[in-house]
Amino acid sequence: MGRYQFVEILGFGTFGVVYRAKDIVSIKDTQYAVKVLSRQQDDSPAASAQQQEWIINEMLGDHPNILHLYQVFFTPQSVFLIFDFCEGGDLLGAIVNRTFLWNDIAAKRACLQLVEATRYCHKKGVAHRDIKPENILVSGDSSELYLADFGLATTEKVCLRGQVGSRPFMSPECFGMSGVLSYDTRMCDVWSLGIVLVNMVYGIGLWHEPSNHDFHWCSFKNDPNYLIKSLPISKEANTLIKRMLTIDPEERITLPEVREELKKLKSFYLSADDVSVREISSVPAPARAPLKVVVEDFDPYAGAILRSVDAKDASFLAPTPTYPGPVPIPAVPELSHATLISTSATPSDILVTPETRPVPDSAAVAIAQSLSDLHSGDVAPVVEAKKNDSAVRKKFRDREAAFRNAVQKLAAYA
């Protein structure tokens, strides 16, 4: 390529390959990400779609949280798009590495950046339509996020019914579940951001697709308290995410409203007192459900705790069934990059759906200690990843102690 020397492949997809490249002319040894596409026949619909991608990138390139496109050039066989190189990789990698888990400050900053970037797109008349962790890049220190890959973006405000994007992040109207003939593309972006927020802040995926064939989607759709039962989520965060994931797009929260609610948000996570109140309120004194019922028909948060201890010692944590009759838990789906799985992950690292994920590390440590060290796994507290900030370490130690006290209160209650 003359000026640019390819160093390694960063990623690849249906439409092309992305390389890390060095500018061998510049004395600064600048690095770029180079997206290489197969050149389509001139004047064909495919060529027009390719052209629209870089036209949209040029429209949006002056926003600090949108990946900047520097140059486009052609050979007879290929199209080359030269972008900024982000040393932190994509957001999926940051999620797998738990970069934002239990870190309110970093998570809130990141969410606000994504909201501002998407809001800027909408102001410019562009809907992204494929917002997901793989299409969000991260700076080397994880302090900045960049919205990228506008290959499916559109300048149309309203689209006819049809699936566009990646299934776990599609809104129900885009997926075809709402029965509408057309939909607002910008509201689809709000929905996708809501899913990404859950991925980033809590380290899990919610479902594989918004269809009646998906167990977790049906649970969410039919149970207004699904998020509360599935995540260590604060009341205010639950309200915000539910508004972003409102099934009726006309009732869904707007991005300016999301921005204001995020600014007011104190924490994404429930406090120790919330844990105690939530669990005690779900365990009435007259009856305790046996562990078998909990495994088949369970509060996923409490169920994950129960899996780390012996049944006979943990029965006091078992809530009474929430759903009418036992609901068999489906087999764990095939693991894939798209469902927030690291290909090199160990079982304790796999964070996909409520029944397969562990509890957050700090909660797992507290519960294991409060139940006479019954947990035999090797638990690595999140605080170990915060070695450069003593205040953050202290905060997480305090939180672990608070969780421990909450579980002891539950034991006394039982």
Domains parsed from the chain with CATH numbers = 4-84 (3.30.200.20), 96-264 (1.10.510.10), 274-413 (no CATH)
Which pair of tokens denotes residue 277? 């109140």
The pLDDT profile of the chain, 414 residues, written as one tens digit per residue, is 578 899 999 987 767 899 999 988 887 889 999 999 988 888 888 888 888 888 999 999 889 999 999 999 888 899 999 999 999 999 999 999 999 999 999 999 999 999 999 999 999 999 999 999 999 999 999 999 999 999 899 999 998 767 888 999 999 998 876 666 788 999 999 999 999 999 999 999 999 999 988 999 999 999 999 999 889 999 999 999 999 999 999 999 999 999 999 999 999 998 766 665 555 444 333 332 322 222 222 233 333 332 333 333 333 333 332 323 333 333 333 333 333 322 233 333 333 333 333 333 344 334 334 332 322 233 333 333 334 456 655 665 665 566 555 545 444 433
String of DSSP letters for 315-380? GGGPPPP-SSS--PPPPPPPP-GGGT--TT--GGG---STTTSPPPHHHHHHHHHHTTT---S---
Cα atoms found within 13 Å of the Cα of residue 41, Cβ hemisphere only: 2
Residues catalogued as catalytic: 130
* Virtual torsion, Cα 222, 223, 229, 234, nearest 10 deg: 120
The partner residues of 71 in beta bridges, in order of sequence, read 82
Residue 279, helix vs strand vs coil = helix
298 and 356 Cβ atoms separated by less than 8 Å: no
**What is the Cα–Cα distance from 78 to 40, expressed in whole angstroms?**
8
pLDDT of residue 61: 80
pLDDT of residue 313: 35
Close Cβ partners of 308 (under 8 Å, ≥ 6 residues apart) = 358, 359, 364, 367, 368, 374, 375, 377
Q: Is 340 left (phi over 0), alpha (psi -120 to 50) or beta?
A: left
Close Cβ partners of 45 (under 8 Å, ≥ 6 residues apart) = none
* Virtual torsion, Cα 73, 75, 77, 79, nearest 10 deg: -10
pLDDT of residue 330: 34
CB neighbour burial string for 23-57, b if at least 16 within 10 angstroms, e if fewer: beeeeeeebbbbbbbebeeeeeeeeeebeebbebb
- Which run of H or of E encompasses 19? strand 16-23
pLDDT of residue 391: 61
pLDDT of residue 331: 35
pLDDT of residue 179: 66
